Amino acid sequence: MKNLIGKPAPDFKAVAVINGKEISEDFNLADFKGKKIVLFFYPLDFTFVCPTEIIAFQDKMEEFEKRNTVVIGCSVDSAYSHWAWLNTPRDKGGIEGVNYPLVSDLDKTISMKYGVLGGSYHIAESGEISFEGEPVALRGLFLVDEDGIIQHQVINNLGLGRSVKEVLRMIDALTHLQKFGEVCPADWEEGQEALTPTFEGVAAYLSKH
């Protein structure tokens, strides 16, 4: 797992499907500077856990928009596979109605930049190239701040779906830290007491809990 916390989010230019139907040939993160970004990776289109996550993000899109946050999905499928899946009804296994961008990482370079590729390439002395592991993206998720810096990352194995509620909680925690300079304790949620990052602040908080 590559540690990207506190570092600039690796930029990329790639093909993506936007608004559920339009194919963009030069999609990139730099276009969203000034907004928070949730960039999440998933293994493959037309699979099983993936549509539950993708639709769960769509169902909370209004909450992300309230938080000035863009949601972007990415897998190693082609843009044409994304487009087909986006235009397949949900009762047929599709994700029709999803309108945030889905990026194509067909050559797996974006997944490698973010350290979420489920395996790695190996070159033998003969020059033969092989791949060990899963040639798909693990369930990585990165929260990028308005200046393009990664503030949160998590990577799940293929069979473990993520919590959209937890993603929203992390956005709220980051926003609170940015606004008030207070750090957010375990299980903190918006509206709850945070604490000043001093020994006295911690002691005062713990004395109440």
Q: In this structure, what token pair is assigned to residue 171?
A: 């956005």
Q: Of residues 16, 37, 50, 171, which has the active-site annotation?
A: 50
Neighbours of 121 (CB within 10 A): 13
**Residue 151 exposure: Cα atoms within 13 Å on the Cβ side:** 18
* Residue 144 bridge partners (DSSP): 37, 150
Angle at 28 between CA 22 and CA 30, to 5 degrees: 135
Note if 50 is an active site residue. yes
The CA distance from 139 to 29, in Å, is: 19
Query: Helices 164-180 and 49-59 sit at what angle, rounded to 10 degrees?
Result: 40
Longest dimension (CA), the chain: 66
CB-based contacts of 186-192 (< 8 A; 24+ apart in sequence): none
Q: Which of these, 19, 4, 198, lies nearest to 100 by C-alpha position?
A: 19
Q: State whether residue 200 is helix, strand or coil.
A: helix
* Residue 143 bridge partners (DSSP): 38, 152
Catalytic residues, by residue number, are 50
